[in-house]
Structures are given as structure tokens and as C-alpha cells.
């Protein structure tokens, strides 16, 4: 995880079932934005009805109107051809306004090419994106990196700090005010009064000034 990125792991252990529905999730906080990334796997022999049921359960559990969602993983449903499982999954994901963005083969076996790995996003919020396959040579599944160019990220709040302008001019002003107010004897006899006046002149000569701290955050999403 990128250093400085705020995130919270979501416990999905109770929802996992080997081969049927394997899932992990994380919430990432970017300033005022919250994005939930859910990674899922369904084996080719997994129970599809159980997969749909469990996905529906976690979407209901995690969904909030102020959170953006990205679902990715190997779901073993071919999105290059029309089929009933694709229709059922799309109908469920539409309830959260999530749409498939993988429209190219991700798995090639002998003479067949299928898109069984997928990424689902809300294109109304993350519409400016680019995605392409990467053949990594380590698996019979290609990787699908996605870049979200416009993440609707609100600008970070401006940060300020207070400084005092201390230079030759302000120091002379400060010393002049002190010399006009006190004599040495007066300082020795009336320390408390001197301290009060000292602070008054200090704040007058070196008045605080608020300045903007121009520090841009570094954000990365893979």
C-alpha cells in the first residue's frame, strides 16, 4: 500500500466460501472521498446461485451513497458472449450503478478466447478511464490494469500556519517600545508589569500572519 494512503481493511471472512465466493475488500480514503475496492473469485465449478446471493449480501452491507465502488476479479463469466449468468450479474450490479469495463479477452485456452476476469465501476463517477490487457507470461489469465484519469477527487482543504516577521526593522521597533516604557529600576521593581508590557509590544511588533502551506498530496491507484 502506498505510504501515507489512509485505508481500512474490511473483514469478509464470514462471507467467503471456497470456490463459490472468495472475497476481500478495502476502503481507501482520499481527502473527503471514500472508495471501496472489492476483489472476488468464483471457480468455474462454483455454485453460481450462491455466488450471486453472497455478492448481493455484501453489496447491501457495504453500500452507502457517499462511497464509490470498484469490483474486480476472476468471476468465470464470459462477458464476450450473451449468457444468462452475465444477465443476472449485470442486473445485480446495476442496483449499485456498476458497469463492466473489460471488453477484450482475458483468458485464452486452445482456440477459445474469453473475458472471464472483469472490473466493474460507476462510469458516471469514474467515466474518464483507460484499460488494456497485459500479457504477463506468468498465468493463462492476462492482467487488466485500469487508470482512473478523473476520479472526481475534491481538492484538499487549504492548510495554513502562523508565522512572525522578525527582521531588523521589527526588532528595532520592539526595542524602541521597551526603552520608552521602562527604566532599569522600573523593570527590577515591577517585573509582572514589565512582562505584561513586554508581551504586548512583542505581539505588536511581530504580529502573526497566516500563510497557505502549499503541499500537494501524492496519490496512486493501481
Are residues 110 and 183 both part of a single domain? Answer: no
Q: Is residue 159 part of a domain?
A: no
Q: Is residue 218 part of a domain?
A: no
Q: Is residue 127 part of a domain?
A: yes
Inter-axis angle of helices 168-181 and 191-205, to 10 degrees? 150
Are residues 20 and 48 both part of a single domain? Answer: yes
Domain count, the chain: 2
Are residues 61 and 144 both part of a single domain? Answer: yes
Are residues 57 and 134 both part of a single domain? Answer: yes
**Do the strands 99-100 and 117-121 form a parallel or antiparallel pair, or are they unpaired?**
antiparallel
Are residues 30 and 109 both part of a single domain? Answer: yes
Q: Is residue 69 part of a domain?
A: yes
DSSP 16-60: -BTTTBEEEEEEEEETTEEEEEEEEE--TTS-HHHHHHHHHHHHH
Chain-centre distance for alpha carbon 93: 22
Inter-axis angle of helices 48-62 and 84-94, to 10 degrees? 10
Q: Is residue 211 part of a domain?
A: no
Q: Is residue 160 part of a domain?
A: no
Are residues 131 and 182 both part of a single domain? Answer: no
Q: Is residue 213 part of a domain?
A: no
Q: What is the pLDDT of residue 203?
A: 74
Q: Could you read off the pLDDT tens digit of each residue along the chain, which spans 222 residues?
A: 566 788 999 999 999 999 999 999 999 987 778 899 999 999 999 999 999 999 999 999 999 888 999 999 999 999 999 999 999 999 999 999 999 999 998 988 777 889 999 999 998 888 788 888 888 777 778 888 898 876 645 555 667 777 878 888 888 887 787 777 655 555 455 666 666 777 777 777 777 777 766 654 444 343
Are residues 190 and 137 both part of a single domain? Answer: no
Are residues 170 and 138 both part of a single domain? Answer: no
CATH of the domain at 75: 3.60.10.10
Are residues 144 and 170 both part of a single domain? Answer: no
Q: What is the pLDDT of residue 181?
A: 64
Q: Which domain covers residue 139, as residue numbers?
A: 6-148
Amino acid at each position: 500500500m502506498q505510504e501515507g494512503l489512509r485505508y481500512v481493511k474490511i473483514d469478509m471472512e464470514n462471507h467467503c466460501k471456497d470456490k463459490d465466493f472468495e472475497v476481500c475488500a478495502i476502503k481507501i480514503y482520499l481527502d473527503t472521498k471514500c472508495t471501496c475496492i472489492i476483489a472476488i473469485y468464483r471457480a468455474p465449478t462454483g455454485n453460481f446461485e450462491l455466488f450471486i446471493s453472497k455478492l448481493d449480501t455484501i453489496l447491501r452491507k457495504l453500500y452507502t451513497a457517499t462511497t464509490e465502488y470498484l469490483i474486480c476479479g476472476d468471476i468465470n463469466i464470459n462477458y464476450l458472449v450473451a449468457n444468462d449468468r452475465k444477465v443476472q450479474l449485470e442486473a445485480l450490479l446495476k442496483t449499485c450503478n456498476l458497469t463492466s469495463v473489460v471488453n477484450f479477452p482475458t483468458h485464452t485456452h486452445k482456440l477459445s478466447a474469453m473475458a472471464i476476469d472483469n472490473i466493474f465501476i460507476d462510469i458516471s463517477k469514474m467515466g474518464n478511464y483507460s484499460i488494456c490487457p497485459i500479457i504477463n507470461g506468468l498465468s493463462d489469465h492476462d492482467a487488466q490494469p485500469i487508470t482512473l484519469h478523473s476520479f472526481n477527487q475534491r481538492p484538499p482543504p487549504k492548510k495554513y500556519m502562523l508565522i512572525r516577521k522578525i527582521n531588523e526593522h521589527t526588532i528595532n521597533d520592539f526595542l524602541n517600545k521597551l526603552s520608552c516604557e521602562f527604566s532599569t529600576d522600573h523593570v527590577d521593581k515591577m517585573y509582572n508589569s514589565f512582562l505584561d508590557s513586554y508581551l504586548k509590544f512583542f505581539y505588536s511588533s511581530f504580529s502573526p500572519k497566516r500563510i497557505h502551506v502549499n503541499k500537494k498530496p501524492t496519490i496512486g491507484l493501481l
